[in-house]
Amino acid sequence: MPELPEVENTVNSLSDLVVARKIIDFWTDVPQRVSNLEKISFFKKEILRLRRVGKNIIFDLSGGVSILVHQKISGHVLYGVWSQNGDAWTTKDKFLSERINSFVRFVFVLDNKHMVTVVDPRKFAKVEVWKTKDLSQKLAESIAPDALSVSKNDFVDILSKRKGIIKRVLMDQSIISGIGNIYSDEILWWAKTNPYVVAKDADAVAVYNATRKVLLKAIELKGDSMSDYRRVDGTKGSFQKEHKVYGREGQKCFREDGGIIQIRKMGNRSLRFCPVCQK
């Protein structure tokens, strides 16, 4: 699933391309994944700004209307020009033509003849149309403190009250928003923290510092494209080249401490860690 760095990069890159444009048409092959379109129209409305809230992409439009896009497990957002042939969308762009970019589920047609598309092989991504004031209230009530915006003191306070293991707490979007499986593994390696330690017993300052280090580096490197994520032009991010534990099970720890990266099951997820430096 795209996590905070991927969503942040999508918002930053797309903002430069679509702000001040108008949406003149819309298409989807998964209408069941669209909410409120029949009640609130966004056609011919100007895109005023894009913003990230948690893992959500928000398009704020003129007329007090907003569009929320959640990419879910395997979705990502692209920008370019496509042609429609039945339910298939094709493009002449080299990178946008990569197979992972071919599963077009939503198409927003802009007034410059370019398009914003949401692609998703699993069909889980969703689009919601809202009155801006209602969406802002809902997000304020339902989205936990942002992993990059939360203060050190608040972060420490949050962990001090949690009895779950630190790996699960970091990934719980109702506690801290924006961190998923890849980045929680990487954060805990940098913090030298065992993923099974109870959150309230962890070195919260070390975890906080590692969180900022990892997420900011991932944003700088345009996200992690080890799996489905692509940038809005169809190209890959490069944080996957910086992995210390994720995807490195069976390999030597980069700290050269004699540890071998292990992988363990955690419910329907996996976690990776070094048993030597993450005691």
In degrees and rounded to multiples of 5, residue 214 shows phi and psi of -70, -50
Given this model, what pLDDT does residue 237 score?
97
State residue 122's pLDDT score: 94
The count of residues in the chain is: 279
Sign of CA dihedral 181, 186, 190, 194: positive
Query: Per-residue pLDDT tens for 150-202?
Result: 999 999 999 999 999 999 999 999 999 999 999 999 999 999 999 999 999 99
248 vs 244: CA distance, rounded Å: 7
**Do the strands 34-35 and 104-110 form a parallel or antiparallel pair, or are they unpaired?**
unpaired
For residues 211-230, one letter each, b for 16 or more C-beta atoms within 10 angstroms of the residue's C-beta and e for the rest, the string is beebbeebbebbbbbeebbb
- For the chain, give every domain's residue range: 4-142, 152-273
Q: CA distances (Å), 147 to each of 150, 174, 175, in order? A: 6, 12, 10
Which residue from 62, 64, 57 is spatially nearest to 15, judged by alpha carbons? 57
Positions of the chain with pLDDT lower than 50, given as ranges: none
State residue 87's pLDDT score.
Answer: 77
* Dihedral sign for Cα atoms in the order 31, 71, 267, 176: negative
Task: Quote the pLDDT of residue 1.
Answer: 76
CATH number for the domain formed by residue range(s) 152-273: 1.10.8.50
Domain 4-142, second-level architecture: Alpha-Beta Barrel (3.20)
- Note the pLDDT of residue 178: 96
**Backbone CA torsion sign across 94, 96, 101, 107:** negative
- In the chain, the largest separation of any two C-alpha atoms, in whole Å, equals 61
User: Which pairs with CB-CB distance under 8 Å and at least 24 residues apart come from 204-212?
Assistant: 204/155, 204/156, 204/159, 204/160, 205/152, 205/156, 207/155, 207/159, 207/166, 207/170, 208/152, 208/155, 208/156, 211/147, 211/148, 211/155, 211/170, 211/179, 211/187, 212/148
Could you tell me which residues are beta bridge partners of residue 57? 52, 69
